[in-house]
Amino acid sequence: MVRGRRLLLVAAVVAIVAAACGGGGSELQAKADACKVDEVDGDLSLYNWSEYIDPELVEKFKATYGVEVTETFFESNESMLAQVEAGGAVYDLVVPSDYMVDIMRQEGLLVKLNREAIPNLANLDPKFTNLPFDPGNEYSAPYLWGTTGIGFSYDVVDDAADLTWGLIFDPELSAPFAGKISLLDDEREVFAAALKYLGYSVNSKDEKELQEATELLKAAKDRVATFTSDSFEDLLVAGEVVIAHGWNGDFFSAFDEADAWEELGYGIPKEGGVAWVDNMAIPTTAEHVCTAQTFINFILDPENGAQLAEWNYYASPNAKANELIDPEMLSDPAVYPPPEVFEKLEFLEDLGDFATKYADAFTEVKS
């Protein structure tokens, strides 16, 4: 699976675009509020991360509801946002990450969900029903969730329980791996790792903490082979790096394809890290809002949710689906972190104007 999660600086929404989106928003909202369970009002245009849904689920939805599904793919939340803002292409359903849901709902770019048309929202695990980026799931429904940590070779790390961000940032610990380390090409994720290592929040708005993290990253840069969000798992599998910063499901897919489970592993450093949630949401430019809500309900069906999670090897936010998922997957702490590990994870939040400081700092680190 290819799932780049680059969190670049989000440009301010152009006023004329926001106004255009808002103009038809009330009419579309009224239509969404009138939708019934299993109602479809046309074919579905799905804008998703690439290779992020089992094709069998798409075919099942088409056969069940007698509609076509057009899939279009994006490589970053920002590119998806730009397309929705531009309004040139019409998407009925998008799959933004947590912080992007927050941005889109605040900019008036999302339709409120009609809960009566999506009864399977009741299947969600309670800890995914009131997250800070969308309290009460008014505008979005969780799709899958995962973590950001370290992929590694067992030649250099014996036990995932011993993982620390110091393998990247501590000069002595990381010295043996100089030139064999990769970091995500992603300002928020990279600074999250540095901030966690320093004992700070991944959502810090403290300029001194950000500067300390900047200096830490600059000092580590000489030991880093590359910044990449697209090929970190492939570099690890190929042996070009032995310590890789990245997203758990991407590592697992690569390990599976290469039959490398005995040689390679993934874990969350003891200092903690990032937990993320991808979500289903309906843009205010959608044409087939009833079909979109029916698709959300379809994905939140326990059997379909379990199939989605097992195909991607990411964790499901669906409590009923988790009852059907392979017990071996459920017991894997790299997929479903135990409570004591989950407590050390944070969701990335929209930083508002302070995000520009992260962008500037990342430019400084990479220059």
Residues whose CB is less than 8 angstroms from the CB of residue 80 and which lie 6 or more positions away in sequence, other chains included: 47, 74, 94, 96, 100
Looking at residue 8, what is its pLDDT? 40
pLDDT higher than threshold 70 for residue 14: no
Place of tokens 């992929």: 151
Reported confidence tier of residue 13, pLDDT bands at 50, 70, 90: very low
Q: What is the mean pLDDT of residues 43-49?
A: 96
pLDDT tens digits, residue range 261-300? 999 999 999 999 999 999 999 999 999 999 999 999 999 9
Predicted local distance difference test score (pLDDT) of residue 78? 81
Beta pairing class for 345-347 and 273-281: parallel
**What domains does the chain contain, in order, with CATH numbers?**
15-144+278-336 (3.40.190.10), 146-275+346-366 (3.40.190.10)
Sequential DSSP letters for 181-235: EEE-S-HHHHHHHHHHHTT--TT---HHHHHHHHHHHHHHGGGEEEE-SSSHHHH
Per-residue pLDDT, 26: 86
For residue 156, is pLDDT > 80?
A: yes
Classify residue 186 as left (phi > 0), alpha (psi -120 to 50) or beta: beta
β-partners of residue 278 are: 97, 144
Task: Give me the count of residues in the chain.
Answer: 367
Q: What does pLDDT average to over the chain?
A: 91
Confidence of residue 253 (pLDDT cuts 50, 70, 90): confident
Using alpha carbons, select from 231, 242, 212, 229 the residue that is nearest to residue 365.
212
Does the global pTM surpass 0.85? no
300-337 pLDDT tens trace: 999 999 999 999 889 999 999 999 999 999 999 989 99
